[in-house]
Amino acid sequence: MTNFATLTRMRIQLTLRNKMFLFFSVIMPFGFFFLYAGVIAKGIPRGVRYFLGPVMALTVMGSFWGLSAALVMFREQGILRRFHVTPVTPSDMLASSIVANYVLTLPTVLMEFLLARTVFHVTHFGDLFSAFLLITIGTVSFASMGLVVASVTNTMQETQVINQLIWLPLIFLSGATVPLVSLPQVVKHVGLFLPATYLVTGLQSAIFTAAAPWGPDILLALCSLAVWALLTFFLSAQLFRWEPESKIPRRAKLLAAATAIPFLLLGIWGNKTNRTLSQAQAMFDSFNAPSKPDAPSGNAH
């Protein structure tokens, strides 16, 4: 087996032995799921289906949190130093974090689909292939962002502060908690600069309106998240530090800000064309429309 594969196995083993994992990857996502599906959507299948997108997005995005904390802890405790004297490379280390995280996130996502079906009797899940692609690329890209956070912060405390600062706008300004269209006008415009917005809207389009992967909305979300994932992975490999005492220079932190460029451009474009907002609005209107049977809506196949 390659170093990458054995490291991935180790990361999965260790994560499963960690109680924090249980909270972030199991309890929190299911908490959101039942809150949205049971309370906000009142258990109505059509409503549950509308909110599945945001719930999945939260599950997918939550991954960056534990990932950055684990890597920083590994560095602070001198664990990474030990790997440094072996043939393991920074890319092995980082890629194994991402893949282990993906493998551990999938069961939660599957459980959410399963619960929607069994508990809330949702019969149609739109375009599952689109959803699968978005979940995959979303998990990888947000995990990769977590790796950047780990590489630009020097202490665990700093990491947690940055995580908080990132997490709050991600969940509140992207439509993941409050639907994008119900947000104040200014906030909507800010939301268009966040990767999370494209993930939420994309997942919602896939599940609620059965948007195909080659449709413009899903494609836009997939491509922007993929480019972002590449940028963040490349940067985190460049800035990777094995030693607890090696500190990150200030200008490197600026580089981290540069990974936001794809979404800066996308945000400008989105604000000009209003495309993503009108898509979110259309879905919201459809959700609020006088109750229709739970059948595939939009351009279903």
Partner 1 sequence: MLYTLFQVAPEWWGATNMANAILEVQNLVKRYGDLEAVRGVSFAVEEGEVFGLLGPNGAGKTSTVEVLEGLRIPDGGRVSVCGLDPQRDSAALKHEIGAALQSTSLPDKLRVMEALRLFASFYKRRRNPEELLKRFGLEEKRNTFYNQLSGGQKQRLALAMALVNDPKVLFFDEPTAGLDPQVRREIYDIIEELKREKKTIVMTTHYIEEAERLCDRVAIVDHGKVIALGTPRDLKAHSGGTTRIEVRLSKPESNGTLKNLEGATDAREVGGTYVIHSKRPPQTIVSLVKHLEAQDNELVSLEISSPSLEDVFIEMTGRRLRD
Residues that bind partner 1 (CB under 8 A): 1, 3, 6-7, 10, 13-14, 17-18, 74, 77-79, 81-82, 84-88, 242-243
CA dist 172 → 19, 163, 265, 297 (Å): 26, 14, 21, 27
Contacts of 291 (CB under 8 A, 6+ apart): 44, 46
Could you tell me the smallest distance in angstroms from the CB atom of residue 263 to partner 1? Answer: 34
Could you tell me the smallest distance in angstroms from the CB atom of residue 15 to partner 1? Answer: 9
Which of 26, 181 has the CB closer to partner 1?
Answer: 26
CA 29 – CA 104 distance, rounded (Å): 13
Which of 14, 27 has the CB closer to partner 1?
Answer: 14
CA dihedral 175, 178, 181, 183 (to 10 degrees): -110
Which of 50, 74 has the CB closer to partner 1?
Answer: 74
Could you tell me the smallest distance in angstroms from the CB atom of residue 23 to partner 1? Answer: 16
Which of 77, 182 has the CB closer to partner 1?
Answer: 77
Could you tell me the smallest distance in angstroms from the CB atom of residue 238 to partner 1? Answer: 16
Instruction: Give Cα 152 to chain centroid, integer Å.
Output: 20
Asked if residue 46 lies in contact with residue 287, where contact means CB atoms within 8 angstroms, the answer is yes
Tokens of 298: 């939009």
Which of 36, 74 has the CB closer to partner 1?
Answer: 74
Phi and psi at residue 259, in whole multiples of 5°?
-70, -10
Could you tell me the smallest distance in angstroms from the CB atom of residue 251 to partner 1? Answer: 17
